Amino acid sequence: MCRLYLVSTLFLLLLGVAAACQTVPITGRSQLMLLPEFEEMRMGLQAYQEILSKSKVSHDPGLNDLVTRVGTRIARATGRLDYRWEFTVIEDSKQVNAFALPGGKVAVYTGILPVTRDEAGLATVMGHEVAHATARHGGERVSQGLLVQVGLAATQAAMATRDPRTVQQVTGLLGAGAAVGVILPFSRAQESEADHLGLIYMAKAGYDPRAAVSFWQRMEQAAQGRRSPPEFLSTHPSHGARIRQIEQWIPEAMQYYQGSR
């Protein structure tokens, strides 16, 4: 019975994988997508509204105009006019961050603005965040999480006749192995891909992609003194690795850059 369950699960999983292959724009990377885009966008909108309800949204006209202007130019460069793009400034000087959710919901924390310094620096940030949305990285992470859960469930079913403590130890190790060996590197790959796409988007929008190097150098300086996990246990590449990759992609991005618009 357990063996039959395992075979059935794997068979259905393989069918789902075969039917759910998508391609990331520009990079052309194949990705597994088990979540329909409309559902991903619904979840993104729900999460966005929840975050904003718990945050102090800025009503500073200057900051909102800046973020909306840069964000709109970046969004147009993506070609995803079907997204309902929305750009919000959140007042939080301690959050040196920004985020994007599926469907084009983007927020920038005021804490990152001293590091962005100018429109090109802000375009670096927003290009990166917008790229997460257009590449559907959120849905891809959900899909991979589902895949890992199915694998662990199948392992438990296959070992059902063994000692419960052994089953728990094995599935626990598999879960940890999946996190360090698959999910975290996968997240780092997504971050690098967002950097790559973001460079192209900011160049298409008329922002000099070479400004991205200066921005990430400032981010590296701002991060000095903060404790961070080793890169192999982090969802993000190290600043040094990130800067080196961006420098390699700049010649490609410059082909799209035609100066300020």
129 is catalytic: yes
- Find where tokens 């199948």 sit: 154
| CA-closest candidate to residue 196, choices 118, 137, 114, 109 | 137
Catalytic residue among 40, 119, 129, 140: 129
Among the listed residues 100, 99, 123, 136, the one whose alpha carbon sits nearest the alpha carbon of residue 24 = 136
Distance of CA 81 to the CA centre of its chain: 20
Nearest alpha-carbon partner for 86 in 108, 112, 114, 56: 108
Write the DSSP symbol of residue 100: E
Cα–Cα distances in angstroms (integers) from residue 84 to residues 76, 101, 154, 197, 205, in the given order = 12, 11, 39, 20, 18
Would you give the distance in Å from CA 194 to the centre of its chain?
7
Rounded CA separation 183/176 (Å): 10
DSSP state of 26: T
The amino acid that residue 15 corresponds to is: L
Residue with tokens 């996190």, as numbered in its chain: 179
On the 0-12 / 13-18 / 19+ scale of CB atoms within 10 A, 261 is exposed
Q: How far apart are CA 218 and CA 95, in angstroms?
A: 15
Active site residues: 129
